[in-house]
Amino acid sequence: MTEPTAPTQPTSAMPPVAPAFAEAVAGAVADALADVDPADLLPEQKARVLIEALPWLEQFRGALFVVKYGGNAMVDDELKRAFAEDMVFLRLVGLHPVVVHGGGPQISTMLGRLGIESEFRGGLRVTTPESMDVVRMVLVGQVSRELVGLINAHGPFAVGMSGEDGGLLRARRRTATVDGRQVDVGHVGDVVEVDPRAVKDLLDAGRIPVVSTVAPDIDDATQVLNVNADTAAAALAVALGARKLIILTDVEGLYTRWPDRSSLARRIRVSALAELLPTLESGMVPKMEACLRAVRGGVPQAHVVDGRQAHSVLTEVFTSKGVGTMVLPDDLRTGAVPVVRPAVDGGAR
């Protein structure tokens, strides 16, 4: 589900593909192409699905992808392990994945345990100074550490960091709109500045950065803000010059007339998406806004894929049909205007 673009070369040497991960991609591709158990495939059938991946392995070797990890994929143990395998596979075949994560369910659970009430206004979690401490603790100390551990079970690849580290992200407080009025939601912000140098250093060292979405307040450096992981992933993808932004969600993709399942869009241009945004279900709005911002900011492709399906990232990247919904620019020849101001010249890898 990919339109060809010129391949780029990796900046560091990559080890050969491990057999176990070749099996993983064969299984993922088989799941996408046929309703069979990959274990039942004959050797020649496994070879065929691997060969289908060859053009994409060649095209994307050295490419940088930003992957937003969320939804059911971060609460189901089997899906967690499958996602970690996907990231290691991408790294082993010569790609440069960068993971950005939130942690809404885990934050709600911890707040409940501590007896701190969760309140939402206009779809945003009201984040008091007390709950901000919990948000920071859960994202950096729980979600990030668990994912880094799952990835590093396959080798010393992942390094956790937050938007505070290396001046990666800076954000500005935002409000929510409720019944046409602007209301305060506390320590919640939007990313307004990205300095990708710390992430680039990790990529050049062959690591997989895992980014937690908390960021200093650009107007008061003593304060830390909770930022939406979808929009943070888009901002980082733009600043890094990523080839793809991939967002995991809990549906198959973008439905243009939800709940009509026949309205699943496989591809959509940014102008059509912009017109559709006001009609979308609230849960899909930040994800599709993130895709819109990324592509308008120069990222060639953005995708929303079903994180409930194991290895959905591999299936999107390494099959011709792909999965989910792909967002494309209106004119592939027209340059896009960045929507987030880089703190330094981010460039492209």
Residue 104 marked as a ligand binder: yes
Q: Extract the tokens encoding 323.
A: 């999965």
Residue 103 marked as a ligand binder: yes
Sequence letter at residue 153: A
> Percentage helix, strand, coil, to 5, in the chain?
40, 25, 35
Q: Extract the tokens encoding 319.
A: 């099959």
What phi, psi does 214 have (nearest 5°)? -120, 150
Q: Extract the tokens encoding 149.
A: 């551990």
Residue 226 marked as a ligand binder: yes
Q: State the burial class of residue 284 (Cβ atoms within 10 Å of its Cβ: 0-12, 13-18, 19+).
A: buried
Strand 214-217 relative to strand 220-227: parallel, antiparallel, unpaired?
antiparallel
**CB contact set of 51 (below 8 Å; sequence gap of 6+):** none
CA pair distance 161, 232, nearest whole angstrom: 14
Contact 304, 254 (CB under 8 A): yes
Q: Extract the tokens encoding 241.
A: 């010059």
Contact 224, 215 (CB under 8 A): yes
CA pair distance 168, 151, nearest whole angstrom: 22
What phi, psi does 5 have (nearest 5°)? -135, 165
Helices (H), 185-311: 197-204, 229-240, 270-276, 285-296
The angle formed by the CA atoms of residues 314, 72 and 146, to the nearest 5 degrees, is 80
DSSP letter assigned to residue 116: P
Q: Which residues are annotated as a binding site for substrate?
A: 103-104, 125, 226
Q: Which residues are annotated as a binding site?
A: 103-104, 125, 226
